[in-house]
């Protein structure tokens, strides 16, 4: 969600009126002062600190990358220490996150964030987390409580400026801010934010609704959202179905298929355009193609160690600091009372490790992307909504949004049996303040009388769940049976879970609460007044796809289809279209055996653009007369998009211009992004030279064909690159266009250059691209700049964990001017991994990075 700290921009932005000389001097002085002030919040990493509540000392040993390995006698001490070190390195990020997830950004950043707060409060992330608390296992609650105690022990006695530089700068805006104590619920609520980022086909459903209300036919929408190409791009689990209440790969099992509903609600959607657009505007811009991830695991039969190798690189938005925090959690003596011996990637604000390995198993995640969100068009009469022939009362609650620099805003939240009415909350503050409900103006006379329409959201994450329990179950699982038991608790967000263990097994499990619908297939908003469209339950865990030790010796997941059409349940109709997954499969199958960890890294960094093949074939069919000589770059292109590649620069410029000129009739919000879906859409369209999509609507006297648009795209691309990179096409560089600036989530867009210099990483050139294995995403609608990245990379060696490797996007520290703030970014850019520490010895010669957390009153 977009964060615009307008108060900071307005107050500090006045320097723009000063003379250039004065500004330059002030920048130098301010940078020096800011650096000095920043260092006062840098963490203590050696010596000892008293941490009340510990039962015994905890050792915190950090390596040169600032990654702490924690050693404790009890689980509660271990998580108290994790809370302490998370707060040392990342508390502003944690505090910002809890304001996001509780709908309280306006308290810090003023009126610009009221719309965001209203959307999140309407969904009720905090309310759901509070409802989850009592349902969690007692051990989980004790771990979250101990973690919160550790955070609060760090905060005790500190002013905001002692905790992070961000608070000091916010105080310059006049913000009088007091840091609240950390609550266990704060961490639970952050899990809702991750579920939101990985919520599946929400954006796709909105996009299809937008196209329908804009008058596009069902056939046209299907051309833009084609079926998954199962024959070309193999699903994760190629075979299997459900029989006798269990998932099976037995080919003799009876097969059933789901059927798409024939219900046409396009007319209703046209009447509710306002509701659809309101929801989209409040919740912020979405990439309809989504954000993906890669993971794969290879059996020891195919590796040089004779034991499995597991690789994972989740793709998320680029943020400073990175979303991940690297950590090791070690019970000095592993027992039932203290069962943790685990290392990997954690979220600041949440205890435990999300992705990594323990002493017996390793696991990784990619987004399964099931359809777990449905919009319901509700017929509304005042505060009533229609179900079948009955008018029912909505549930109504009122909340107050506190706003820095402005009066509080009263928010009236209405919900039906399907969920909150998202279309109630317009960005207009005056409408929010009236509490009138903000109903859409589209009113129709029907059999039920005079009514209006609203858009309700049904989403699995708005039901209390058990994902927090799953974290610790994953961390302590010793075999696949225990791993599956943990996966069963991982209800949202539903992820593709890959697995390997030291006994040589590899496996895949699909978890999550995935709805079973009555009527409809979830591709379009459903009529809420017809109960036949309600969810009837959820797919039983035992019937979700899984596979253990497949004959081919490997498992690949990259947001592609989990399973084929023979599966009896609808998981989703909106997968990534399989270019990444198929490329990984092809590389594994073609590679010389045995495979090494270096082979895995080479695959992670692969930048081949297989989706370009049909476009290149069509370009080569164009008459060469009159085409720019720069086209010779594509004659022998190997499809790799390294940042030094001139052919990649030319091809991607052609691709972007082709998309924008061909699909010029699409409404705002549906503009082609250029990812895997659009690769498949265009591949199908190239076979029809006179398709109406090729016609340029701005040329009334012409009807363009495929070759016309390809030729125009080439000419426009060459003109664009000549103007931006010079006339010598051999010197064009993909990296000069495809740049990454890792931006601080709040102050990184302040509009004040010195502030942005402090908090943002320097812009770097990037290889890769959208829909490639090296998935540095970009949006053709806005430019070539990177907007999604492999947020980390990890390769785990199950034969010897000390040979495992990893990299974070930026660094473990959240403090500017700290040595670990962005120290991993150059290695990330080059595709280099760092050693992944495991059971680090405490008897080090240099103990400058050993911190001992002592119980209160403890005598060393």
The residues that are catalytic are 293
Q: Which helix (H) or strand (E) holds 149?
A: helix 138-155
**Helix, strand or coil, per DSSP, at residue 580:** helix
Is 205 annotated as ligand-binding? yes
Which helix (H) or strand (E) segment holds residue 445: the answer is: strand 443-446
Q: Contact, 22 vs 45, CB < 8 A?
A: no
User: How far apart (Å, rounded) are the C-alpha atoms in residues 396 and 417?
Assistant: 12
User: Which residues are CB-neighbours of 223 under 8 A, at least 6 positions away?
Assistant: 681, 684, 685, 693
Question: C-alpha angle with apex 397: 395 to 399, nearest 5 degrees?
Answer: 160
**Helix (H, G, I), strand (E, B), or coil: what is residue 101?**
helix
Phi/psi zone of residue 50: left (φ > 0), alpha (ψ -120 to 50 degrees), beta? beta
Residues facing 778 on adjacent strands: 786
Q: Cβ-count burial of 615 within 10 angstroms (0-12 exposed, 13-18 middle, 19+ buried)?
A: buried
Question: Which DSSP symbol is given to 102?
Answer: T
Cα 837 to Cα 208: distance, rounded to the nearest angstrom: 46
**248: its two tokens:** 């099976």
Query: Measured between alpha carbons, how far is 627 from 635 in angstroms, rounded to an integer?
Result: 13
Closest of 371, 375, 312 to residue 345, by C-alpha = 312
Pairing of strands 325-331, 68-72: parallel
CA 498 to chain centre: 18
Q: What is the dihedral of CA 56, 61, 67, 69, to 10 degrees?
A: -50
DSSP string, 448-496: TEEEEEEEEEEEGGGS---HHHHHHHHHH--SHHHHHHHHHH--SS-EE
708 is in an annotated binding site: no
Helix (H) or strand (E) run with residue 145 in it: helix 138-155
Sign of CA dihedral 661, 667, 669, 674: negative
Tokens representing 531 are 């109960």
Burial classification of residue 812, based on how many CB atoms lie within 10 Å of its CB (0-12 exposed, 13-18 middle, 19 or more buried): buried
Q: Which of 74, 99, 47 is nearest to 150 (CA)?
A: 74
Please, how many CA atoms are within 13 Å of residue 341, restricted to the half-sphere of its CB? 17
In degrees, rounded to 5, the angle at the alpha carbon of residue 572 between the alpha carbons of residues 568 and 573 is 105
Bridge partners of 459?
Answer: 373
Query: What HEC string does 485-553 produce?
Result: HHHHHCCCCCEEEEEEECCCCEEEECCCCCEEECCCCCCCCEECCCHHHCEEEECCHHHCCEEECCCCC
What are the backbone angles phi and psi of residue 392, rounded to the nearest 5°?
-120, 150
* 371 in a labelled binding site: yes
Tokens of 387: 């179900």
* Matching residue, tokens 């304001």: 99
Pairwise CA distance, residues 120 & 102, whole Å: 7
Three-state SS string over 286-329 comes to CCCCCCCEEEEEECHHHECCCCCEEEEEEEECCEECCCCEEEEE
**Crossing angle of helices 579-590 and 676-685, rounded to 10°:** 90
Residues at the annotated binding site?
205, 371, 374
Residues at the annotated binding site for Ca(2+)?
205, 371, 374
């Amino acid at each position: 969600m977009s964060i615009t700290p307008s108060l900071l921009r307005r107050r500090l932005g006045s320097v723009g009126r000063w003379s250039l000389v004065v500004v330059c001097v002030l920048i130098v002085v301010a940078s020096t002062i800011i650096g000095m002030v920043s260092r006062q919040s840098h963490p203590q990493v050696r010596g000892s600190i008293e941490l009340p509540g510990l039962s015994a000392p905890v050792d915190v040993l950090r390596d040169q990358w600032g990654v702490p390995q924690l050693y404790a006698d009890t689980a509660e001490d271990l998580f108290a220490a994790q809370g302490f070190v998370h707060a040392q390195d990342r508390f502003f990020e944690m505090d910002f996150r809890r304001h996001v997830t509780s709908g309280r950004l306006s308290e810090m950043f003023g009126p610009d964030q009221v719309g965001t707060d209203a959307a999140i409060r309407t969904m009720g992330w905090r309310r759901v987390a509070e409802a989850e608390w009592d349902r969690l296992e007692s051990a989980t609650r004790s771990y979250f409580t101990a973690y919160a105690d550790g955070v609060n022990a760090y905060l005790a006695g500190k002013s905001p400026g002692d905790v992070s530089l961000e608070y000091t700068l916010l105080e310059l805006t006049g913000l009088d801010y007091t840091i609240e104590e950390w609550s266990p619920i704060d961490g639970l609520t952050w899990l809702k934010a991750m579920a939101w980022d990985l919520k599946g086909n929400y954006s796709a459903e909105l996009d299809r609704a937008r196209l329908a209300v804009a008058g596009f036919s069902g056939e046209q929408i299907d051309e833009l959202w084609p079926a998954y190409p199962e024959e070309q791009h193999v699903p994760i689990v190629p075979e299997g179905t459900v029989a006798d209440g269990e998932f099976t790969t037995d080919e003799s099992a009876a097969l059933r298929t789901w059927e798409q509903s024939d219900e046409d609600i396009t007319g209703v959607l046209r009447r509710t355009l306002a509701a659809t657009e309101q929801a989209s505007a409040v919740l912020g811009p979405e990439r309809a193609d989504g954000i993906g991830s890669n993971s794969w695991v290879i059996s020891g039969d195919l590796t040089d160690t004779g034991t499995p190798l597991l690789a994972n690189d989740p793709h998320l938005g680029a943020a400073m600091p990175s979303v991940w925090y690297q950590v090791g959690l070690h019970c000095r003596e592993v027992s039932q009372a203290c069962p943790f011996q685990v290392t990997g990637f954690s979220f600041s604000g949440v205890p435990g490790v999300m992705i990594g390995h323990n002493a017996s198993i390793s696991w990784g995640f990619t987004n399964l992307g099931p359809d777990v969100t449905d919009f319901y068009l509700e017929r509304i009469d005042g505060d009533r909504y229609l179900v079948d022939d009955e008018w029912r009362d909505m549930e109504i609650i009122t909340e107050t949004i506190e706003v820095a620099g402005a009066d509080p805003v009263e928010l009236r939240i209405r919900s039906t049996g399907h969920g909150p009415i998202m279309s109630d909350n317009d960005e207009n503050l005056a409408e929010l303040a009236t509490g009138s409900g903000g109903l859409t103006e589209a009113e129709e006379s029907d059999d039920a009388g005079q009514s209006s329409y609203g858009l309700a959201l049904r989403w699995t994450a708005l039901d209390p769940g058990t994902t927090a329990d799953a974290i610790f179950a994953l961390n302590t699982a010793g075999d696949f049976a225990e791993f599956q038991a943990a996966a069963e608790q991982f209800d949202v967000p539903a992820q593709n879970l890959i697995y390997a263990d030291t006994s040589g097994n590899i496996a895949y499990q699909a978890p999550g609460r995935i709805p079973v619908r009555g009527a409809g297939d979830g591709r379009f908003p459903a009529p809420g007044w017809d109960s036949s469209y309600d969810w009837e339950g959820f797919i039983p865990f035992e019937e979700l796809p899984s596979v253990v030790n497949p004959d081919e010796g490997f498992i690949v997941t990259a947001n592609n289809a989990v399973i084929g059409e023979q599966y009896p349940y609808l998981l989703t109709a909106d997968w990534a279209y399989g270019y990444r997954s198929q490329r990984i499969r092809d590389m594994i199958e073609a590679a010389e055996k045995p495979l090494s960890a270096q082979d895995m890294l080479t695959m992670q960094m692969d930048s081949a653009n297989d989706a370009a093949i049909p476009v290149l074939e069509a370009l080569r069919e164009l008459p060469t007369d009159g085409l720019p000589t720069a086209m010779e770059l594509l004659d022998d292109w190997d499809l790799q998009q390294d940042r030094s590649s001139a052919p990649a620069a030319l091809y991607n410029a052609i691709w972007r211009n082709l998309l924008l000129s061909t699909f010029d009739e699409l409404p705002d919000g549906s503009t082609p992004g250029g990812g895997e879906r659009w690769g498949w859409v265009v591949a199908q369209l190239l076979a029809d030279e006179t398709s109406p999509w090729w016609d340029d609507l701005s040329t009334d006297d012409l009807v363009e064909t495929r070759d016309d648009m390809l030729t125009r795209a080439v000419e426009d691309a060459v003109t664009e690159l000549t103007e931006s990179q010079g006339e010598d096409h051999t010197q064009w560089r993909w990296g000069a266009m495809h740049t990454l600036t890792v931006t601080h989530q709040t102050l990184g867009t302040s509009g004040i250059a010195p502030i942005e210099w402090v908090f943002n990483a320097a812009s770097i050139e990037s290889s890769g691209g959208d829909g490639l294995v090296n998935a540095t995403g970009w949006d053709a609608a806005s430019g070539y700049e990177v907007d999604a990245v492999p947020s980390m990379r990890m390769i785990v060696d199950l034969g010897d964990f000390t040979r495992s490797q990893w990299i974070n996007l930026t660094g473990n520290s959240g403090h500017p001017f700290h040595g670990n703030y962005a120290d991993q970014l150059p290695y990330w850019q080059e595709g280099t991994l760092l050693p992944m520490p495991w059971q680090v010895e405490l008897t080090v010669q240099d103990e400058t990075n050993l911190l001992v957390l002592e119980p209160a009153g403890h005598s060393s």
